Amino acid sequence: MLITPRSFGKYDDEPFRIMKVRGVKIVENETGSVLSERQMIDRVADVDGIIAGVDPLNEEVLKHAKNLRAIAKYGVGTDNIDLGYCKKHGIAVSITKNANRNAVADYTFALMLNVARRVTEINNGCKQGDWSKKVALDVFGKKLGVIGLGAIGRGVIHRAEGFDMQIYGYDVFHDDVFVEDNQVRFTDVETIFKECDFITLHVPLIPSTENLVNAEMLSKAKKNLVIVNAARGGIINDDDLYNALKNKQIFGAGLDVFQTKDPQHSKLLQLPNCIVGSHTAASSQGAVNSMSLRAVSNLMRDLNSSVEQEDNVAV
């Protein structure tokens, strides 16, 4: 079995103990970084199962994995996995649905507060000798638009209740009970951009959501808008967001993901009103433990082990 996520089992050795009891031979990612296509090809030849992070599992990699029967995604996003190839060749793909929902919802709200109150900017200024007052935005009682009302989006809404925020929501599915119980104004994306003070994104990266946030949509926004994306980078057009932030068309952004695969050279890093993360929203100890255990259970299940655990199956 190949395990690529660097944080897998880092805070609890139970996932490793489960596999040891079942006689699983483990191949770990010893590089300390995300594996390249070439590195994946070199490691997949003999494995029958993979616990995968964001490393490439495209057709070029998968065609070298002649014995592969199951992939357990360590997380929920499967855009790095060729699902069509897996389906065609009978490779089961599972995700660890909801394992990191609280961690990502926490981080999303932290980014939102950070940008609005200019926490990082003030911190950096003080450490450089600038102790001036910097006027920030209020959060309490403001309008929050949540695009994507899955587990993480709902978690953000529950946190916003403590700030007495007015909630606007959009999803391709309409859950009447949740919307009514949580007093969510269910509407479309354009209305959210026109009326909300804060917007958080919680949708998958699929053709209909790619570049969802673009120059046209940002042109409809309030000048004091704060937008947060801890979902997938391609949902926002980075160039359009850069222009909106640089020209003070909107107030600020919090990003844990980027459109480019090489974010260290992104122009967005130059802007004080853009707070960034290293795709780290799910990196809490509790989330790591939960994702590790679920990934192992999913993989053992799909490899016809006796471990049983219900979870979403991607293929």
For the chain, give the percent of residues with pLDDT over 90: 91
pLDDT band for position 310 (50/70/90)?
very low
Residues β-bridged to residue 3: 28, 51
**pLDDT, position 307:** 42
Structure tokens at 86: 């897996």
Q: Report which of 96, 47, 39 is spatially closest to residue 72, judged by C-alpha positions.
A: 96
Model pLDDT, residue 193:
98
* pLDDT per residue as tens digits for the range 90-144: 999 999 988 999 999 999 999 999 999 999 999 999 999 999 999 999 999 999 9
| Whole-number Å distance between alpha carbons of 224 and 241 | 14
pLDDT at residue number 313: 54
CA distance 57 to 309: 24
H helices present in the chain, as ranges:
14-21, 37-44, 59-62, 83-88, 101-117, 119-127, 151-161, 176-181, 189-195, 215-218, 238-246, 285-302
Per-residue pLDDT averaged across 173-184, rounded?
96
What's the rounded Cα separation, in Å, for the pair 6 and 29?
7
Q: Cα–Cα distances in Å, from 221 out to 177, 210, 213, 313?
A: 29, 19, 11, 37
Q: Phi, psi (5° rounding) for residue 178?
A: -65, -45
Residues in the chain, how many?
A: 315
Mean pLDDT, the chain, rounded, equals: 94
User: Does residue 233 have a pLDDT over 70?
Assistant: yes
The structure tokens listed for 306 are 């006796």
Residues 6+ apart with CB under 8 A from 181: none
Tell me the pLDDT band of 314, cut-offs 50, 70 and 90: low
CATH level 3 topology of 101-276: Rossmann fold (3.40.50)
Rounded (10°) angle between helices 285-302 and 101-117: 150
Of residues 117 and 307, the one with the higher pLDDT is 117
Instruction: Provide mean pLDDT across the span 276-289.
Output: 93
pLDDT at 293 over 60: yes
pLDDT of residue 304: 80
Please check the confidence at residue 232 and state whether its pLDDT lies above 80.
yes
Residues 235, 209: Cα–Cα separation, whole Å: 6
Between 315 and 141, residue with greater pLDDT? 141
When pLDDT is averaged across residues 189-218 and rounded to a whole number, the result is: 97
Domain with CATH 3.40.50.720 in the chain: 2-97+283-302, 101-276
CATH superfamily of 2-97+283-302: NAD(P)-binding Rossmann-like Domain (3.40.50.720)
Alpha carbon separation from 79 to 10, 48, 186, 206 (Å, rounded)? 25, 21, 28, 8
Answer yes or no: is pLDDT of 312 > 70. no
Phi-psi region at 134: left, alpha or beta (left = phi > 0; alpha = psi -120 to 50):
beta
Q: What is the pLDDT of residues 35-92, one digit of tens each?
A: 999 999 999 999 999 999 999 999 999 999 999 999 999 988 898 999 999 999 999 9
pLDDT digits (tens, 9 = 90+) for 235-267: 999 999 999 999 999 999 999 999 998 899 999
